[in-house]
Amino acid sequence: MLAYRFDDPNSLDALRAREEPAGEPQRGEVLVRVRAVSLNYRDIALILGRYVWDAVPGLIPCSDAAGEIVAVGEGVTAFKPGDRVISVFHPRWFGGRPPKGVAMQTYGNGVDGWLTEYKVVSQEAVVPLTDEISFEEGATLPCAATTAWTALSGSAPIRAGSTVLTLGTGGVSIFAVQLAKAVGATVISTTSSAAKAARLRDLGADEVVNYTEIEAWGRHVRKAVTGGVGVDCVVEVGGPATIGESLRAVRPGGEVVLIGFLTEANPGIDYFLLKGSNAVVRSIGVGDRAALEDLVRAWRGAELKPVIDKVFDFDDAAPAFAHLQAARHVGKVVIRVGR
């Protein structure tokens, strides 16, 4: 089978595919023929040295995949050959508190990932994919969509009448727009261009703010867009350079969900702004297996479709990474796997 690895762990140009043994499923394991992989910002952040956790160099990249079971090991009861599945982002976090060491058990930074034609995993590390969701669509759900789900369904879940602020048009943010609209929330989104603003409106965003034109977009959202009230939830993917404006946009008692670190400038957090917001600040790490299962059920129930910007062939994995890095995409970038 062919599997990709970065020859140089610090260079996005060093992605190469090589023949490797496919492996055989042992007791409790399944062999998955991978059919599609989706990219997340973390897949480039790991190589650019911008990830939050340590990384083992030289691993097969990518956390998110869809495929079909082609063989099962002894004692496997959950799946049989021919079943369609998607990967779970945290293969050992089933629910409740994250297990010790969870950070180094994730694909692409602690263990080999999914940009490979075949992969052996525990039967607990995949969940069923129903027939109406394609492999390309299914591969978008394990990280970005589950993260958006976890962000919107915390202790104060988003519901009809809530107001959600999303930042940018990447994978997590677009899923947050879709999930928030599905329950009848009002969505305010920021973006960098008129073309992306039009896409956001097509997807249901009620208000769009161009952050390249309105630098104080958080204050603007609070004062001009919500009439001084503030939003109930900020899906915070920007990180160090956007957290200040996010704190200005949220209402007292609302939530700022810390997710990402897309911005490089790190001016620090103003304690009095943080304290004065009277908001809940919740940092999340994607979510557990139960969250992915809930998401898949909700996704089917609401008849949503993932927004896929572009699908690349397996031979074009390196251009797919470059496409994500260029940040001109809206939604998800997918690689179709197999020859």
**Which token pair is 124?**
């607990």
Q: Is the dihedral of CA 331, 307, 329, 13 positive or negative?
A: positive
Q: Which of 3, 188, 205, 262 binds ligand NAP (CB under 6 A)?
A: 262
| Candidate ranges 34-42, 116-124, 243-251, 311-319; the one touching ligand NAP (CB under 6 A) | 34-42
Q: What φ, ψ does residue 219 adopt, rounded to 5°?
A: -60, -40
Please give the Cα distance from 116 to 291 (Å, whole number): 25
Stretch that binds ligand NAP, among 254-262, 269-277, 295-303, 312-320 (CB under 6 A): 254-262
Three-state DSSP class for residue 270: coil
The binder of ligand NAP chosen from 79, 118, 261, 321 (CB under 6 A)? 261
Alpha helices in 154-268 (DSSP H): 171-182, 194-202, 217-220, 243-249
Helix (H), strand (E), coil (C) string for 3-53: EEEECCCCCHHHEEEEECCCCCCCCCEEEEEEEEEEECHHHHHHHHCCCCC
Rounded Cα distance between 15 and 36, Å, is 17
122/242 with CB nearer ligand NAP: 242
Residue 147 or 178 with smaller CB distance to ligand NAP:
147
> Distance between CA 99 and CA 125 in Å, rounded?
14
Tell me: does residue 90 bind ligand NAP (CB under 6 A): no
User: Of the two residues 93 and 118, which places its CB atom closer to ligand NAP in the complex?
Assistant: 93
With the C-alpha atoms ordered 308, 310, 314, 318, is the resulting torsion angle positive or negative?
negative
- Asked if 285 is part of the footprint of ligand NAP (rule: CB under 6 A), the reply reads yes
CA–CA separation, 273 and 271 (whole Å)? 5
Question: Got the DSSP string for 264-322?
Answer: -------HHHHHHHT-EEEE--S--HHHHHHHHHHHHHTT----EEEEE-GGGHHHHHH
Is residue 170 a contact point for ligand NAP (CB under 6 A)?
yes
Stretch that binds ligand NAP, among 1-9, 94-102, 170-178, 179-187 (CB under 6 A): 170-178
C-alpha R_g of the chain: 20
277 binds ligand NAP (CB under 6 A): no
Q: Which stretch binds ligand NAP (CB under 6 A): 6-14, 74-82, 107-115, 255-263?
A: 255-263
Shortest approach of ligand NAP to residue 89 CB, angstroms?
8
Taking the complex as a whole, how short is the minimal distance between the CB of residue 24 and ligand NAP, in angstroms?
32
DSSP three-state, residue 87:
strand
Backbone angles phi, psi at 156, to 5 degrees: -120, 75
Kindly indicate which of the ranges 69-77, 96-104, 162-170, 176-184 contains the residues binding ligand NAP, using the contact rule CB under 6 A. 162-170
DSSP-assigned letters across all residues of 92-109: T--SSSPPTTGGGGSBTT
User: Which one of the spans 28-36, 101-109, 119-127, 283-291 is the region binding ligand NAP (CB under 6 A)?
Assistant: 283-291
Q: How many residues bind ligand NAP (CB under 6 A)?
A: 30
Identified binder of ligand NAP from the candidate list 31, 102, 127, 167, rule CB under 6 A = 167
H or E, element range at 271: helix 271-277
Q: Counting contacts by CB under 6 A, is residue 127 touching ligand NAP? A: no
Residue 199 in the binding site for ligand NAP (CB under 6 A): no
Out of 78, 103, 284, 298, the residue judged to bind ligand NAP by CB under 6 A:
284
The Cα 317–Cα 116 span in angstroms is: 11
Binding window for ligand NAP (CB under 6 A); candidates: 76-84, 178-186, 236-244, 297-305: 236-244
> Which residue lies nearer to ligand NAP by CB, 88 or 262?
262
- Position 192 contacts ligand NAP (CB under 6 A): yes
* Residue number of the CB atom closest to ligand NAP: 170
DSSP-assigned beta bridge partners for residue 337: none
Binding site for ligand NAP (CB under 6 A): 40-42, 45, 143-144, 147, 167-172, 191-192, 196, 237-238, 242, 259-263, 284-286, 324, 327, 329
